[in-house]
Structure formats: structure tokens, C-alpha cells
Structure 1
């Protein structure tokens, strides 16, 4: 398998993970959340994809909190100070499997390593 790498701030990465966790708990797809935020249908998918440069801004956190019916954006932000400023994430892209057992054109990203840079 080919390995890929992405460089991102640790804070951005943890916010992306938290939003994804909350989105999935609410049973929302990436597209659903993007539409609730009144942004392009692919926005959340791009943010969650490690190979894309898109990230959430302060404005987006407010839109996410509203879409998820939260009382505050604080629940989207990790507690405390992050240990690292920037991290490098090494990952593989693994094809998703369709219901019929064939390989999808979509991929899952399997994280191999996260390291400080």
C-alpha cells in the first residue's frame, strides 16, 4: 500500500476528530452537516480528508454548533493546551467496500503514525 502524509496543527486535527465524532453520533453524513451549515455539499468531506487543505475556521465552529444544536462552541475545542503545534500524519488509503463486495471508488484513511514536527 502506498503511504501518504499530511501536515496539520494538532489543534486543527483534534477539532476535526471531535466534529466527526459528534456528527456520527447525530447520524449525520458529511453532506448532511455541510448542508446544515449552508456550505458546499462537499465541505465537511474535504475537511475530514487528510489529503485536503481545508480546515474549520472560527466561523465554521459556530455554524457546526448551531447545526448540532449545541449550546456553545466550547464543546468542539479540546481542553487544555495541545502538546504540539504541528504534527505529521502518515496514513494509507484503503478502498471502501460496496454492499455487493466490490471495491468502491471512495477510500478510508488508515492512520499509521502521528509525529511532532
Structure 2
């Protein structure tokens, strides 16, 4: 499998990963969260896909809090970023169907995350 890279701000990456973890814990699909956000059905899927350019914006924060039934925006940021920008190396690998065969859908396996500049000062 071919490795790919993406440069993204660490705060964007941490937000995407936290929303994904909360979404999964609450049993919400990507399409269900997109609907709760009143956005295109594919929006959350695109945000969670490293090969796509979509991300959450500041405007989405209060909407995410409501959709995920959180008490505060702070719950979306349990970790404080220590770097501005990071480079993520990942591989797209086929998901497995329930019968063990390979799906046509892919998931991303993170190989490494490397800071590409100094820490936030």
C-alpha cells in the first residue's frame, strides 16, 4: 500500500480526532452527525478522511457541542496542541466486511505524525 502525507494544523487534527471519538462512543454514524449539524450528508466523512481538504471551522464548534450534547466547547479540546503544524504519514487500507473479506471502503492507518515547525510559543 502506498503511503500518503498531509500537512495540517495540530489543533485541527486534535479536534477531528476528538469529535470522531465522541461520535463513535455515542454510536453516531458520520451521516447522522452531518445531519445533526445540518450539513451535507458527506461532510463529517470528508472531515475525517485525511485525503480530503474539509475541516471543522470555528463556526462549527457551538453546533458540534449541541449535536454531541456536550456541556462546553472545552470538551472538544481535552489536549492542548504543542505544535502549530504537523505532517501526518498514513496508509489507506481496505476495511473488512463482517465475513472477513475486504470492503471497497478504506480506513486510514496513521504511520507517523511529525511536527514541521517549532512549538507554540
Give the TM interval when normalised to the shorter protein. Answer: over 0.9
Structure 2 partner of 1:115: 114
Following superposition, the deviation at residue 101 of structure 1 comes to 2.9
Question: 1:41 & 1:86 partners in 2: Cα distance?
Answer: 29
Deviations 1:18-67 (A, max 9, x none): 10111111100111100011100110010011111111011111111101
Q: Distance in 2 between matches of 1:99 and 1:114?
A: 30
Aligned in 2, Cα 1:111/1:79: closer, same or farther, shift over 3 Å? closer
Q: Tell me by how many angstroms 1:79 deviates.
A: 4.3
Distance 1:36 1:116 in 2: 33
**Residues 10 and 83, structure 2, Cα contact 8 Å, conserved in 1:** yes
SS class of match (2:109): strand
Following superposition, the deviation at residue 78 of structure 1 comes to: 3.9
Unpaired runs of at least 5, structure 1: none
Q: Number of residues paired by the alignment?
A: 116
Q: State TM-score, norm by structure 2.
A: 0.90
Q: Does 1:93 align with 2:99?
A: no
Contact kept, 8 Å, 1:95 with 1:107, in 2: the verdict is: yes
4+ runs deviating over 3 angstroms: none
Per mean C-alpha deviation after superposition, the further-off stretch among 7-16 and 96-105 is 96-105
What's the Cα RMSD here?
A: 1.1
Query: Normalising to structure 1: TM-score of the pair?
Result: 0.93
Partner in structure 1 of residue 48 of structure 2: 48
